[in-house]
Amino acid sequence: MGDRARRLRSARTDPANDAGELMQRVARGDEAAFAQLYDLLIGPVFGLVRRIVRDPAQSEEVVQEVMVELWRSAAKYSPERGSATTWAMTLAHRRAVDRVRSAQAAADRDDVVGRRDANRPFDEVAEQVTTRLEQEQVRRCLNSLTDLQRESVLLAYYGGRTYREVGELLNTPLGTIKTRLRDGLIRLRDCLGVA
Amino acid sequence: MTSPDIHALTGAYALDAVAGMERADFERHLAECESCAQEVHELRETAARLALAAAEAPPPHLKNQVLDQIRTVRQLPPETTVVPLRRRSLAQRLTTVAAAVFFVAAAGLGVVVVRQNGQLDDAQARAAQLEQILSAPDAELLTLEGSGGEGGSMKVAVSRSQDRMLLVSGDLANAPAGKDYQLWTLANGKPSSRGLVQPADGDVAVEVGDLGDADTVAITVEPDGGSPAPTQDPPAMFKKLPAA
């Protein structure tokens, strides 16, 4: 299978592939491996959840839930289905979104702030070099999107919005939003070299 | 929904930006559309890059909290656990059904999930929980009596050793206008209300813990909002539970 070979190759060159190996040790109950995995993933998990949830105390709760869930369900991770980092980020994003959509907090979130933030994805200067490099690359690739694609993708991902909410915020028909999100991500995928 | 329309949802779905029934529909579609699944996979890897770029230093005390907590959390078994073939296939079949049901529940589309214990709030975790119940050595899967007719069928997975059960239906008819389904457990004839059950397009998933010495589970049709004690005899649906 060409796809599979390609995925395996990309997994080998993935700098975050450490996460995959650690995850397999964690699945066998290795607490030391979990502590390493924590160090590897906590920065992005925390940053992502905080962006979506906003409230510091609730963000911490969600982050803790996510990390414990990684421990609990490590055995369910299969390298065939993608990188361990993506698995963790998908879980973190889902949990953060569940939190804001289930809570009253959803109604309290400030749409104006949400939109402003979405247009300036990384204001803070990251301390870690790896994060800074990642930010540079992602920023460059985000700039290859049209303004409307970028705004839609960022509102959905960092804002934790449904595409229907994005449509309302941007006063744009839903069909257009769907297409923008897909086209924007595809362009981002190609620019970042995600295979 | 037409097929090209649904295919265009891959981007929104990879960003968790599809909710409710639409999400459930798309997931059914994904199961059959290999190219969509591949695209979602790639777009999720792409979205994860946005997460990596958002990295921030966490509060330092968090690590010890998490490390302390995992010592008290039992890990799930891998998906390839060796269990007797029949039970496993049953568990897997039901897990698939329940996963679909739970997606609806998680989306908050009117399914009341009675939670006596546990704080699991996503579909995957709930499906995993069902798997846990069914993998208990004493797990039984039963169909409620009185169900199976036009009102739809209701199944219950129960484990005494885990002290909990899970009720699942994929085709429960809505309660008549002005009425609600109410769920009860009975111990020696004494009822305890376990909350209301509201199907969303027939789907229901209700977890009930703390069974204690309950010997029967029952669902009655009650006036809107429920009753302090069941007013319907015999109940619309009921089942004797395996002995504690």
Q: SS3 string of B18-72? A: CCHHHHHHHHHHHHHCHHHHHHHHHHHHHHHHHHHHCCCCCCCHHHHHHHHHHCC
Q: Exposed, middle or buried: residue B37 (CB in 10 Å: 0-12, 13-18, 19+)?
A: middle
Contacts of A29 in chain B (CB under 8 A): 75
Least Cα distance to A69 among A103, A46, A37, A92 occurs for: A92
Closest chain B residue by Cα to residue A183? B11
Per-residue pLDDT of A118-158, as tens digits, reads 555 665 555 667 777 888 899 999 999 999 999 999 999 99
Report yes or no: A102 and B121 within 8 Å, Cβ to Cβ.
yes
Identify which has the larger pLDDT, B101 or A57. A57
Indicate yes or no: CB of B11 within 8 angstroms of CB of A51.
no
Q: How far does the CA of residue B89 sit from the closest CA of chain A (Å)? A: 18
d(CA B27, CA B36): 10
Indicate yes or no: CB of B17 within 8 angstroms of CB of A163.
yes
**B71 touching A, CB under 8 A?**
yes
Torsion angles phi and psi, residue B198, rounded to 5: -125, 110
Indicate yes or no: CB of A48 within 8 angstroms of CB of B9.
no
Q: A126-140, B169-183, B205-219: which range is least confident on average?
A: A126-140
d(CA B144, CA B166): 12
Query: From the list A72, A122, A178, which residue is nearest B9 (CB)?
Result: A178
Q: Which domains does chain B have, with CATH numbers?
A: 3-70 (1.10.10.1320), 85-240 (no CATH)
Q: How far does the CA of residue B210 sit from the closest CA of chain A (Å)? A: 23
What is the pLDDT at residue A125? 53
**B62 touching A, CB under 8 A?**
yes
Start-to-end CA span in chain A (Å): 14
What is the pLDDT at residue A25? 93
pLDDT at residue B27 tops 60: yes
Query: From the list B45, B75, B124, which residue is nearest A29 (CB)?
Result: B75
> Please, which residues 121-150 of chain B have a Cβ atom closer than 8 Å to chain A?
121-122, 124-125, 128
Q: SS3 string of chain A? A: CHHHHHHHHHHHHCCCHHHHHHHHHHHCCCHHHHHHHHHHHHHHHHHHHHHHHCCHHHHHHHHHHHHHHHHHCHHHCCHHHCCHHHHHHHHHHHHHHHHHHHCCHHHHCCHHHHHHHHHCCCCCCCCCHHHHHHHHHHHHHHCCCCHHHHHHHHHHHCCCCCHHHHHHHCCCCHHHHHHHHHHHHHHHHHHHCCC
**B213 touching A, CB under 8 A?**
no
pLDDT at residue B59 tops 60: yes
Amino acid (1-letter code) at residue B37: A
What is the pLDDT at residue B228? 86
Q: Highest mean pLDDT: which of A149-163, B103-117, B157-171, B198-212?
A: A149-163
Contacts of A186 in chain B (CB under 8 A): 11, 43
CA angle B88, B94, B97 (to 5 degrees): 145
Q: Which residues contact B138 (CB under 8 A, 6 or more apart)?
A: B159, B160, B161, B242
User: Omega of the bond prior to A44 within 30 degrees of 0, cis?
Assistant: no
Report yes or no: B53 and A143 within 8 Å, Cβ to Cβ.
no
- Mean pLDDT across the stretch A31-46? 95
Contacts of B56 in chain A (CB under 8 A): 43, 46-47, 50, 124, 126
Indicate yes or no: CB of B12 within 8 angstroms of CB of A135.
no
CATH topology of domain A1-109: Rna Polymerase Sigma Factor; Chain: A (1.10.1740)
Given this structure, which CATH class describes domain A110-195? mainly alpha
Q: Which residues contact A116 (CB under 8 A, 6 or more apart)?
A: none
d(CA B37, CA A157): 19
| B136 token code pair | 């208990």
pTM of the model: 0.59
Q: Give the confidence band of B103 by pLDDT, cuts at 50, 70, 90.
A: very low
d(CA A91, CA A78): 14
Size of chain B in residues:
244
Q: How far does the CA of residue B84 sit from the closest CA of chain A (Å)? A: 20
| B142 token code pair | 């039963």
What is the pLDDT at residue B72? 92
Instruction: Give me the sheet containing B190-197, strands edge to edge.
Output: B190-197, B179-187, B216-223, B237-240
Contacts of A97 in chain B (CB under 8 A): 16
Interface contacts A/B by beta carbons within 8 Å: 206
d(CA A53, CA A69): 18
- For chain A, give the mean pLDDT: 83
What is the pLDDT at residue A179? 96
Domain coordinates of chain A in residue numbers?
Answer: 1-109, 110-195
| B157 token code pair | 């997975």
Identify which has the larger pLDDT, B185 or A101. B185
Contacts of A194 in chain B (CB under 8 A): 42, 45-46, 49
Closest chain B residue by Cα to residue A190? B46
pLDDT at residue A16 tops 80: no
Query: From the list A157, A162, A182, which residue is nearest B50 (CB)?
Result: A157
ipTM of the complex: 0.85
Query: From the list B45, B58, B69, which residue is nearest A82 (CB)?
Result: B45
